[in-house]
Each structure stands twice: as structure tokens, then as C-alpha cells.
Structure 1
Amino acid sequence: MAEAHQAVAFQFTVTPDGIDLQLCHEALRQIYLSGLHSWKKRFVRFKNGVMTGVYPGSPSGLLVVLTGYISATKYAKIDPSLGLFTKLSTHLPVSKYITVEGQRIAGGVLVGTGLWVAVIFVMRNVRKCLLSWHGWMFGRHGSLSFKTKVWLVLVKLLSGRNPMLYSFQSSLPRLPVPPIKDTVRRYLDSARPLMDDEQYQRMEGLAKDFEKNLGPRLQWYLKLKSWWASNYVSDWWEEYIYLRGRSPIMVNSNYYAMDFLYAFPTHLQAARAGNAIRSLMMYRRKLDRAQIKPRFLLKDYVPLCSAQWERMYNTSRIPGLETGFPGIWDSFLVILQSLTLPSASQLMVLNTIPMCSSQYERMFNTSRVPGVEEDILQHVNESKHIAVYHKGRIYKVWMFYDGRLLLPREIEQQMERILADESEPQPGEELLPALTAGDRVPWAKARSEFFSKGKNKQSLDAVEKAAFFVTLDDSEQRYEADNPIQSLDSYGKSLLHGKCYDRWFDKSFNLIVYKNGTMGLNAEHSWADAPVIGHLWEHVLSSDPVQLGYSEDGHCKGNLHPNMPGPQRLQWDIPEECQTVINNSLTVAKTLADDVDMHIFPFNKFGKGLIKKCKTSPDAFIQITLQLAHFRDKGKFCLTYEASMTRLFREGRTETVRSCTVQTCDFVRAMMNDNTTKEEKLKLFKVAAEKHQDMYRLAMTGSGIDRHLFCLYLVSKYLGEDSAFLKEVLSEPWRLSTSQTPLQQVELFDLKKHPEFVTSGGGFGPVADDGYGVSYIVLGEDLINFHISSKHSSLETDSHRFGCYIQQALLDILDLFQFDDKADKK
């Protein structure tokens, strides 16, 4: 095994003739290149900070304004400051050295700069006010009202050009606090189908009492926080839902993302790791330089691609001239086309409504550090290495050499060195990551006692401050066409928990590369939500086989590096007392992992294309399907969680859509009744779908139920007040927890030409002991992948049984529309 190169920059010895100084030129060269790289990175960050800080303005805009004012001052012989600078000059010690013309120029600079700043301030705040209006979301499906068209035009014109990742942060509105009476009313609506008359009347009494007495007082404190903080929910959500949890984060919190379903770019483990790690590091470089495009909300009824909109906006349609500058002619053209052409108005929705990008800040160089009462998120600004686990050994691998990022073949070379290492793990090292898989308190105490000094601290710092964690897994996982169910189930369980000691579950994410070249991700949940890590994973999957590629023999493209130092084996000194804690954590983790009942299946009988022909939202279609399947599985309804995002607001994260509604239950009961006609069932389905869409819109626009009640509950605890209503609401178990994995960068995957590049999406563990966790991803026009999890220990659940009910429910609901189509033809 090639250890890290321990270069010494200089050595000296004292002799009778003086000091003999010996310099190592290679070490000094590496020091120089490393410093140069760091200063370049600092400069880029400073420049990006300036560009983001003045957006939607730009330094070039300031230059144009100042040039115009100075020219006007010089040739028109006027003072743009209207004598203000002359008055100020009496108080300036250098004023007597400034000529009259100089005073005019200085006045022009002052006035021009002030005007430029004022325009930016006005544009930013007007845009914030515009983005606070969400009436466009509640318009009729497939069309935009005149008011919405005008609103979209104004938002677009005030958004500037070439935005960076964080350009819109200062213009995003704050999450509003809904009125208590609205939240209580919506809660009672959601609780009605789950309670009998007596239970509902009791809960209604508690709710009304809360709304009248304690609620207004708690609401006042919450509004005060919303005025002061950027987001009145997110910090408490992160702290109390994630960081204060003392149970294992493996299975309970962490989630996973899968590789391609049918494509296998290479069978070489080191090569696949080389391309994937290189792609991840390139994404981090783009993130550091804010070169990743900001995320915009895409409304599902927009039929045209964003490239057409960008060209329409950024290009002047003057005959013979395409300036690429958004001048007056562009503005007029945008307004004219968007107000008169239906396709242009729908096109406007694309790349217009920004989403918050704050969650991207902690994607890399981040680790969750355990505490006795509460964990913390540790983030470092820069990390030049990754941590790699293989067969019980952990390595520190530098990602830079000669002042540059390693190339894919060079990273593969480092992985090959690790795979070739035949040394044995040190005592306790093999199972060490199990500490991150067990309960948090033992891990926190062990970290403080055994990893706070010496080489244990240095090695732990190398892991926690790494860009991310990589596991070179010694097992083989992949989709097998002749054994699809068992192969996918095993693959999903492996990504979710592995062997319980071969992932560092505290890292922001783990890259897992299997022996046969298949790979996946395991992500920690507290720092961000799944769409953010999904955006990263889409970049990796799209760049791996297409942009980076492999040679004919399966290796990464490029050449080996002849002089590159090898990975550094981390050294540990783990006493027997600590090994006992590790074994105890492993026992807890294995019990949890063995209890997971995982089932993953691709549904390819129909998909988004056919669902949209039914004029129904694919998400509403699937959510109602899950309700029907769950009722057939358990014979009852349950409180259902569907994750919705609130990133239309600054620092927004998620909100809950309570998918089990009165309207959905009416439809399910109709489906279970053979005496109900298909026409009646279809009518009830459409009502339920519209209700679901309305609830989803409310959740996205800050009018959800659960985050508001959660924050009211925390305020009551801070005030020492007890609320029977809030206590019961927050103690209700989510026996059906669901989430859709969005495909955000559709342009990266041409599934018509390359159907083998379809991914299986990702999933998570069950939330309730007697419930299901369901994740699904809609891919292309004809494929929906489902991930179902539950617990073997529950007598009520069976993931494979539930999967069969889901498939049958999908077909049964579609049959209603097929009958409707036939009736229309007649």
C-alpha cells in the first residue's frame, strides 16, 4: 500500500561552519500551487459575493451609468448633484485641490452611484412584493389569466440577466404566518375522515377552545418571530425534528438514491468511483463559483422548453441585429407576445419564479456532530480531500495535486491502490462507523471521551471535514432482469443501511460504489431535503457515461500519474471500552436494519403521458391510488403525509399535504362498492383530485397546516403553557408517509433516445412502526418507480403485499378513464 507522501519543505542542521539549510523544491512547489489555488478560490468567492450583492444590477451597469453622467457633466457643463457636492466640499479637507470640472465629475459619480443603488433597491423590493403574490397558482389548469400574464412579465423584467445561484435570495419573500382560524379549520377538515362523530366533536371542541383562548397569544409571538427571522419555521424544524432526535438516524432519517436502472457503464469498481468522484468535485467547484443555475419553479402545464423563452427574452428581434441585450425593444416584444399569444404566456412561467437556494450551502464539507442533548452541523468552507472506507480501513485521499483537481483516471488510480491494499484493520477500526448508525447519546459520549485528542482526533477530523464519504463496498448490487424483485429489494436495503458499519451516516452524503460498478447515495437529512441532493445526483448520472465516459476496457479515460502520492491510511487507537460502545451501537443498528421490509418495483404499464391525457395531475393520481391501495391493504384510512416544498420563500424547506381527505375517502368507498357506477366513481375521483391539488397549492404558498401548528406548539412550551389540542395533534402517527422524487433537469436525460439511462429514484425508511414509507418517481411518459418500506415486526404491514395493491389500484383507476373515453366516442 502506497502511503501519503510526507514531503518536508526544508531541513537544517547546525555545524561548526554555520547552518546547513536543505530545501525540498518539490515540497515548496506544491505549497506555492496550493496557496495559489486558495487565493484564486477566495477571489472567485469575493467576486461572486459582489455580483450577488448588487443583483439585479451589475458592475458593468454601474460603469455605464457613471460613464453617461461623467460625459454629460463634461460636455453639457452641468452639475448633476445640483450643488450638493459644492456644499459638501466645504467640509472636505481636499476640496481646495479639486477644480470646478473635477467637482462636476465627482458630483456625477456620486449621483450616478446613488441612482444605480436606488434603482437596484427599488427593483429588488418591487420583485419581492411581486413574488409574494401566488394567485397565479390557483388559476384554471392549462391557461393563464390576463392578470397573471402581466404579473409574469413584471417579474421577468425585474429579474435581471444571467442570475447566479444565490442571486434571488434577497428578493424572496418571507414565509407568512397563516391565520389561526384558517389553520384550525383546515386541520378539522383533514381530521374528519379519520374520526367517528364522537371523536370529531371532542376534537372540534378542543380546537375551538384553542382558537379562542391560548391560540391568539401564541400567534402573536410567532408573528413577532416571522418579522425578525428570515423564516419562522426552518431553524426550529432543523433543530427539533432532526438535530434533537436521539434515536439512530440510519433508516429513521437518512435516505438513499439509486443508480441507473438498466445501464451499467463499467464493471470496474475503481473506474466507476473515479468518474463519480470527479463529477461530484466538479459540481462542488461550480457550487463554490455559483455557476449552478438558480432553481425555478416549473408549473406542470407549461408545454414549451425554457430555451425558447431565453432566446425570446435575451435576443432583440431587430432585423439583421441580435444584440443579446434586454433593451426597450425586448421588453415591448415580451409584453406584446405574452399578452396576445397563449403559448408565449404559458412559456413565461419557465425560468421566472425562483426558489430558495440556501440549502445548497452545506452540501459538501459538512458533517453532523453528535451531542448528548442536541447534534450540531459542522461545515468547513474548504476541504481538499475525501474519506474512503474499504474492508474495515478508512483512508484520506487528496483531491488536488499540482494545484489542480485530479482527473478521473488519477482518481481511479487512487481507488485501485486502496482496493489493492491487503493490510488488516486496526482494532476497532472495522466497525467504527457503526457509532454513527446507533443511538446518538452513546456516540456523543464516546466521541468526547475517546476522540478528543491525539491521533484519534486527527483521524476523526479527516473524516468529518472531508468533502464527502466514499464506501468501496465489497458486495455486488444491481437490477437483474431475471430476478427483478429480489435484486431491487436487496439493492435498496443496501443503500439504506448497508452492513450498518460501512457508511458514515453523519456525513452530508455517502457515495457507495459496489464491487460490480453499480453505485448509489446515502444522504443525511438535517442539512437539506431530497430535491437538493437529487439535483446533485442528476448531474453525476448525466456526466458519468456521456461527458466523462470510459475506455473500451472499462477504465476512465486519460492516463495514470507517475508521481502522485497514494492515499493516506488513517490511524486509530481505539481502547476496549470504546470497542464495547461500538459493538452496542452495532447491535442497535442491526436490529433496526433487519426489521426493514423493503420493496422496489418499476411500474411500466402506463405513466405520466396517459395520466395527463386524463387531464389529471400525476401526483394527485398517484396519491389517490395510494389511498385506495392502503384501504384495500388495511381496511381503514390513516393520517397520510405527503412532502411539499416551501422554497418559494426564503430558507423554505417542506410542508405537509394531508392526502387523506373527505373527498378521497368518498372515492375509495365508491371503488369498494360494486353497486356504484363508473360514471359516479369517475366524478368522485375528479373531485378528490381537485381537492388534493388545492391542498398542495396551499402548502406551497405558506398556508399549510402542520408547520404552523408545530411552531405554535414550540411557543407554548417556551411559555410554559399546555395545550391539549396541540398535544394531540402532534402526537398523531403518520402511518402512511409519502414523497415524490422530482426529476428536475429533464434536459440532461433524453429517455426517448436512451431509455437505458432511466434511474430508479430513491427512498427512505418507514416513519411509523405499523406504517408504510412510499417514495415514487415519474420518469418519461410510461414509467413510475415505487419504493415501499415497512417493518417486519408489524403484523399489519407487508411491503410486497402493499406493492401489489398499488399496481392493481393504478389499473383500476385508469380503467375509469378508459370507460369514459369509450363513452365519449359513442
Structure 2
Amino acid sequence: MSEPRTFRFQSQLPKLPVPELDETCDRYLTTVKPFLSEQDFERTKLAVEEFKKGGVGQELQKRLVERAQKSETSWLIDWWNEWAYMGYRDPVVINVSYFFVFRDDKRRKQPAARAASLVTGALLFRDSLLKEELEPDMVRTTPLCMQQYKYMFNNCRIPQIPSDITRNSDPKENQHIVVMRKNQFYSLTVIDKDGSQLSTDEIEEQLLKIYEQADKIGKVPAVGALTSEHRDVWTNIRDEMLKSPLNAASLEAIESAILVLCLDDTKPVTHDEASRACWHGDGRNRFYDKSLEFIVFDNGKAGFLGEHSMMDATPTSRLCDFILEGLDNGTINHGTRTGASIEPVRLEFELTDSLLQAIDTAQTNFAALIAKEDLRVVAFDGYGKNLIKKLQVSPDAYTQMAMQLAYYRMYGHCVPTYESGMTKKFLCGRTETCRSVTMESVDWVKAMDDPALSPKEKGELGRKAVGAQSAYMAKCIDGRGVDRHLLGLKLSVLPGEPVPSLFADPAYAYSTHWYLSTSQITSEYFEGYGWGQVVSDGYGIAYMVPNNKLYFNIVSLHLRNDQLEHYLREALMEMREVFEASIPPPKPKPAPVSAPVSAPVAASAPELAAPTVVITP
């Protein structure tokens, strides 16, 4: 076995810092200024000043620093997992889960073949992870934390009151996947007792048996629908189910499985149909608590649904890219026949009248939940990352500004915007909020509708807006955004203590009300990526910036996504014009320095070219 590589940098990673109080307070004021009148901004400045100088902020900062000093990993991680995920009680589907839609595989149009190849790829990735042969994530030469990968396979969220827990099952003892078809569950052992992995052909043969058997039986009561319920409701139902040894054994098989493979009997065609099918499906042929669910439809389309609690989308996007790129390039080893006599085992449930009623109620609640949601995929074919880079701007920041301009034109003002920034350069790092709206971005969106300004002038203002967003993102990646620090200070307030002035000020609640909640994951093998909005009067916009396209997944509670799409397409076309008009001229090459061979260059000679620092989120 080769030298373990996957976690080799973990002990060297720095811990998430606690920024200086003054630094965060000053940066916070900068982020709220775009939304406030002069009078309101002065009120907020007074609240922040009182928080900094009145002793309360200093005391909370002291408590937070002490917590950080005592922590062996991260002062934030336990709070974050609890506050953002495990303590969250609304259904995980729509509210927590995220999805990918895969590009079609022209070599594997039959669903069983497509599904078997995806399982093979996932198992190969798992094998390299278990053997610690997987290279750690890196940004250039900076290693990133790999902790989240420990919750990838054989993992499940378990409902409990008042807060859920995560369950990691022993990978050596659980070498099976769970396959769902027609609401039925099948356990399929994919690695035999000798440790040999079934070949892709063998997996496909077993999946064909599941198709045949499940289709013959037909749809059964949808136990999986129970995982779409409110977490407290699901907790109580699960407790009731566990009273039956048969149910307990079936749930054990599902929760301990490597992954879940959903073989859906639908045939989505359009981007919108495929995205909705991957995001939530029919609410029946799913087990939403599993960390990994691969979905294959009867027309060969496929995708992925992830449970977000212990993993962000970056590890699972790497997993899916590994599979899809390997299948496309022919680098996935499909194995040779093991000859193992392994058959799928149908998991049975003993369903009482009360459990059957609970399933019916869950399906009714699910239908009402998804009926509130509007999803629209914007597949923009005009250009992508390649052209944006030629415009000499950050593709991520550029795309953020497109959303700002679209929203401004639709509503006439700018609103607090969340962009996920990765903090995995720190031990147990997850995310920080990049606040995309700046004074520069507000000036720019207004300038875009000013007929007195030339395209070049508009483009130059746009470059300032892009630069401001990139600079803030760099702070976030460095652990110096404002939101996680402020959350830590807020959670450091003891029960019974008064609400500090900064948090009592209306600007704090408004500036954390994410009317636009955004995040980027990009793959040349995805045709969709998304999740739900985080506030009832806002949008969730997941976006991808591949080489020659742009994708936006717009989700809201029917807030005219079609109009936002119109303004987004309009913004992207106009932005190309103004950014092309404002491309900086090439810098002149420095004149060569000539000197007599025998004469040394003076130590005080001026530098001929200053180093350029490029910040790429």
C-alpha cells in the first residue's frame, strides 16, 4: 500500500482565526452602508460604536477568543453544524438538500447501464478515500481541509429531538448500496467477502433484476416520503417504526449503506424538468437523509442529490466530476467479473395503520411544499468563462454583478446578497458569507442605466465593482468576513443577558436577510445545480461558469422567475459590451537596463516592474 496521502496535511492546517473586533465592526459598517439612508447609517454607526467601546463587544470577543483557544479544531464548527443544520427542523428536502444534473452520457443511454457505471465510479472514489490514496484538495499550493470527506460514504442524517445527529457506519462492515425503484428498497452487496468489487457488468445485471422485480410488484407505500417531513415529525415516526424488528433491520440497511441509487420511472427532458426531478422528485422514491443519492431516470438522464448537513457541495462535486470525467475519458476501471453469487435483497417493512396514515400525510405535505416553489434554469449560450477571462476580470465576480444588475432592473434597488465563500484552508473550515453588494456595485448598476455615460465609463465602474467583490471574497477565504465572526459573538451572549446594540439595530437583521442567496459550483459535466431560497421574499440562485456557457438555477416562491431571467440575459449581453469597451491597454514592456559590464547596478535602482497579485475566488 502506498503512503497515506489524503489527510497528510490535516495536522498542519491553521485553525480558523477570530478576527480583531475593530476590524470586523469597521468592515461590517462598510457592508451595510449601501442599503441605508444617511440618517439610518448614523444610527447604525452609533450602535456599532457602543458595541465596540461600551464593553459588551469586548467581553463577547474575550469569550470567543477563549473558546477558540480551547478548541482543538475550530471555534465555529460545532456551533455551525448545530445552528445551520442539525438543529434546523424544517424538511431537509427543498430547504437543505442540493442537486446536480449530469450531462447526458451518449455511450450509456439505457438506465441500467448508466446507473451501473455511476456506481462503479463512486466505488472507485470510495476505495481511494478509504485507502487514503486520494490527493487532498488544494488551491494552488495551499492544502485544504479534508474533514468533510469522512461524512461522504456510509453516512446518514438521523432525526432526533431537539437536534439531529449524523451517523457514520463502518465501511468495512457495510459493503452494500441501497437501490430504490417504485418506492421499494433493495440492498445490493457490491463488494464481496474477499474484498473484490463487482464489475460494472455484474452491477448492471443485478440492477436489471431490480427493475424487473420492482416493476412487477408495482408501487408500494412510500416509506421514503417520511424523510421529507418536518424533522420532529419524522423523529417520532421513526421511533414508532423501530418498535418492529423488521422495520429496524430495513432502516439499518438503508442508513448504513454506502449510498442510495434511485431508479426513477420518469423521463425528464428540459433543463427545468431535470432540475426539479433531481432536486425533489416525486417525494416517494427517495431517502432524503442519506448524504449521497444518485438518480437515474428511465430515459438515461441522471443526477445527484446531496444532504448538506455535514458536507458542502465541493467534496461531492469532486466525486461526481471524478466519475463523469472518468467515464467520458475511459479512465474508469470497470473491473472483471468476480463470479460472486450476489443477489439483491428486497427490504421489507411492517406498516401499521398509523404508519400508513403518516405516509399519506407526508405525501400531502410534500405536494404542498413543492407547489410553493418555482424553479427556472437559465442556460445562457452567449459566452462563458473563457470570454470573461479575456475581459480581464474574475469570472465569479463578473457573474455576481450580472445578478446585481438583473435584480436592480427588476426591483429598482439593491438588496443584501449572500455568496458562499470557502474557508477550507482552515481546519474544519466550511463557509463564510461574501457580501456581494458594495458601494461600487450600487454605483455601477445605476450607471448602467445612465444614457449620459459611455460604454467605456460604464465598464470602468463595473471593473471597480468586480474588484470590490473580489477583495471581499479574498477576506472571506482568509477567515475575515464579518458574518461568522458576528455569529460567534452573538452566540457568546449568555442566557438572560440583554441583546447587544449591534444585534438590536435593525440594520443587522436587514443585512442578514438574504434576498439573493447565491453560490457557484462549476463542472463541464453538469447541466444543472441548485437548492432552495433561504427567505420567503427572496431567490436562491445557484450558478455555474463553464468555459463557453453560463447556468443559473433560479428558485423562489413564485416571484416571477421568468422576469428575473429576462433581466439576467439582458444584463449579460450589455455587460459584455461595456467590459469589452473598458479592457485596460496592455502595459508597455519595460525598457532594458544597460550598464557597463564592470559597473555594478546601484542598490537603490528602481524596480522595473511591480509584481501583480491576482485574486481568484
| RMSD (Å) for aligned C-alpha atoms | 2.2
Equivalent-residue separation in structure 2 for 1:713 and 1:524 (angstroms)? 27
Distance in 2 (alpha carbons) for counterparts of 1:173 and 1:820: 40
Equivalent in the alignment of 2:442: 665
Aligned-pair CA distance for 1:574: 1.3
What does 1:754-793 align with in structure 2 at a 5 Å threshold?
A: 758-780=525-547, 782-792=548-558
Segment of structure 1 superposing worse, 642-651 or 593-602: 593-602
Following the alignment from structure 1 to structure 2, what is the Cα–Cα distance between the partners of residues 409 and 769?
47
Report what 1:197 is aligned to.
38
Q: Which amino acid aligns with 1:707?
A: R
C-alpha distance 498-172 of structure 1, shift in aligned 2 (>3 A) = same
Q: Structure 2 residue aligned with 1:359, among 141, 148, 153?
A: 148
Query: Which amino acid letter does the alignment assign opposite residue 191 of structure 1?
Result: V
* TM value normalised by structure 2: 0.89
Q: Report the equivalent of 1:249.
A: 92
Inter-partner Cα distance in structure 1 for 2:313 and 2:483:
19
Identical aligned residues as a percent? 30
- On the 8 A contact 1:258/1:519 being kept in 2, the answer is yes
Matches within 5 A, 1:581-660: 581-660=358-437
Matches within 5 A, 1:90-169: 164-169=5-10
| CA deviations over 1:94-143 (Å, ceiling 9, x no partner) | xxxxxxxxxxxxxxxxxxxxxxxxxxxxxxxxxxxxxxxxxxxxxxxxxx
Residue equivalent to 2:249: 458
Query: What is the alpha-carbon distance in structure 2 between the residues aligned to residue 579 and residue 723 of structure 1?
Result: 49
Q: Would the aligned equivalents of 1:710 and 1:730 in 2 still touch at CA under 8 Å? A: no
Return the letter of the residue paired with 1:815: E
Q: 2:224 aligns with which of 419, 433, 457?
A: 433
- Mapped partners of 2:247, 2:384: distance in 1: 52
Shift of 1:720: 3.9
Partner of 1:393: 184
**Which structure's CA Rg is the greater one?**
1
- CA distance in 2 between counterparts of 1:821 and 1:470 reads 48
Give the AA of the match of 1:190. Answer: T
Quick one: structure 1 residues 546 and 167, their matched pair in 2 at CA, closer, same or farther if it must change by over 3 Å?
A: same
**Does 2:234 correspond to 1:424?**
no
The one of 458, 468, 479 equivalent to 1:691 is 468
When residues 184 and 821 of structure 1 are mapped into structure 2, their CA distance, relative to the original with a 3 A threshold, is: closer
SS in 1 for 2:453: coil
- Match of 2:88, SS state, is coil
What CA distance in whole angstroms lies between the structure 2 residues aligned with 1:820 and 1:548? 43
Gaps of 5+ in 2: 587-617
Distance 1:776 1:821, change over 3 A: same
Residue 175 in structure 1 maps to residue 16 in structure 2: yes
Residue number among 563, 574, 580 corresponding to 1:818 in the alignment: 580
Q: Whole-Å Cα distance in 2 between the matches of residues 557 and 379 of structure 1? A: 27
> Which residue is equivalent to 1:734?
514
Alignment partners' CA distance in 1, 2:309 and 2:497: 27
Change (3 A) 1:358 1:205: same
- Of 500, 521, 540, the residue aligned with 2:283 is 500
Q: Which residue of 1 aligns with 2:490?
A: 713
**Pair 1:474-2:265 in alignment:** yes
Letter of the 1:762 counterpart: Y
Q: Structure 1 residues 610 and 425, CA, compared in 2 at 3 Å: closer, same or farther?
A: closer
State the Cα distance separating 1:678 from its structure 2 match.
2.5
- In the alignment, the residues of structure 1 paired with residue 474 and residue 455 of structure 2 have an alpha-carbon distance, to the nearest angstrom, of 28
Aligned to 2:295: 512
Shift of 1:174: 0.8
Tell me the CA shift for residue 609 of structure 1: 2.1
Runs of 5+ in structure 1 lacking a partner? 1-43, 53-163, 298-349, 479-486, 551-555, 744-756
1:730/1:567 CA distance change after superposition, 3 Å: farther
Question: Could you report, residue by residue, the CA deviation over 1:465-489 in whole angstroms, capped at 9, with x for unpaired residues?
Answer: 11111110000124xxxxxxxx100
Distance 1:433 1:720, change over 3 A: farther
- Work out which of the residue numbers 218, 235, 242 in structure 2 matches 1:444: 235
Does residue 2 of structure 2 align to residue 210 of structure 1?
Answer: no
Alpha-carbon offset, residue 548 of structure 1: 6.5
Distance, in Å, in 1 between the alignment partners of 2:427 and 2:583 is 44
- Per-residue deviation at 1:446? 0.9
8 Å contact 1:413–1:560 — kept in the other structure?
no
TM-score (norm 1): 0.67
Distance in structure 1 (CA, Å) of the matches to 2:122 and 2:225? 25
Say which SS state the counterpart of residue 178 (structure 2) adopts. strand
Corresponding residue for residue 806 of structure 1: 568
Q: What is the deviation of 1:786? A: 1.8
Give the structure 1 partner of residue 137 of structure 2.
295
Counterparts of 2:513 and 2:162, CA distance in 1: 24
How far apart are 1:614 and its partner, in Å?
A: 1.8
Cα deviation digits, residues 178-207 of structure 1 (max 9, x gap)? 111111111111111112223222222222
Map residues 564-579 of structure 1 onto 2, 5 A cutoff. Answer: 564-579=341-356
Q: Is 1:188 the equivalent of 2:29? A: yes
How many angstroms apart in 2 are the aligned matches of 1:389 and 1:533? 21
Q: Counterpart of 1:368 in structure 2: which amino acid?
A: R
Number of the residue aligned with 2:614: none
Quick one: distance in 2 between partners of 1:544 and 1:613?
A: 31
Give 2:514's aligned amino acid: W
Measured against aligned partners, the alpha-carbon deviations of 1:428-450 in whole angstroms (never above 9, x if no partner) come to x5321111112111100111122
Match of 2:142, SS state, is coil
Contact 2:538 2:556 (C-alpha < 8 Å) held by counterparts: yes
Contact 1:531 1:742 in 2 (8 A): no
In 2, Cα distance between equivalents of 1:547 and 1:730: 51
How many residues of Structure 1 are paired with residues of Structure 2 in the alignment?
577
Judge conservation of contact 1:621–1:689 (CA < 8 Å) in 2. Answer: yes
Q: Distance in 1 between matches of 2:457 and 2:378?
A: 31
Answer whether contact 1:368 1:376 (CA < 8 A) is retained: yes
CA-CA distance at 1:582 after TM superposition:
2.2
What is the rounded CA distance, in whole Å, between the counterparts of 2:472 and 2:582 in structure 1? 26
Give, as a single letter, the amino acid of the residue that structure 2 aligns with 1:471.
C
Q: Does 1:283 align with 2:45?
A: no
In the alignment, what sits opposite 1:339?
none
In structure 2, relative to structure 1, the CA distance for the partners of 1:379 and 1:190 (3 Å cut) is same
- Alignment partners' CA distance in 2, 1:377 and 1:666: 46
**Higher helix content, 1 or 2:** 1
> Cα–Cα, structure 1 residues 596 and 185, in superposed 2: closer, same or farther, change >3 Å?
same
Shift, 1:240, TM fit: 0.9
Shift of 1:680: 2.6
Kindly provide the CA deviation profile for residues 752-779 of structure 1, in whole angstroms up to 9, marking residues without a partner as x.
xxxxx74324111111212111111121
Local SS of the residue matching 1:433: helix
The answer to whether the Cα contact below 8 Å between 1:401 and 1:564 also exists between their aligned partners in 2 is no
Of 361, 364, 372, the residue aligned with 2:161 is 372
* Secondary structure in 2 matching 1:400: coil
Query: Which residue identity lines up with residue 178 of structure 2 in the other structure?
Result: A
| CA distance, structure 1, for counterparts of residue 381 and residue 425 of structure 2 | 33
Q: Alignment partner for residue 381 of structure 1, among 167, 170, 178?
A: 170
Change (3 A) 1:823 1:675: farther
Letter in 2 for 1:783: K
Distance in 2 (alpha carbons) for counterparts of 1:220 and 1:623: 36
Distance in 1, matches of 2:242 and 2:521, equals 38
Give 1:807 deviation, angstroms. 1.4
1:234 and 2:77 are equivalent in the alignment: yes
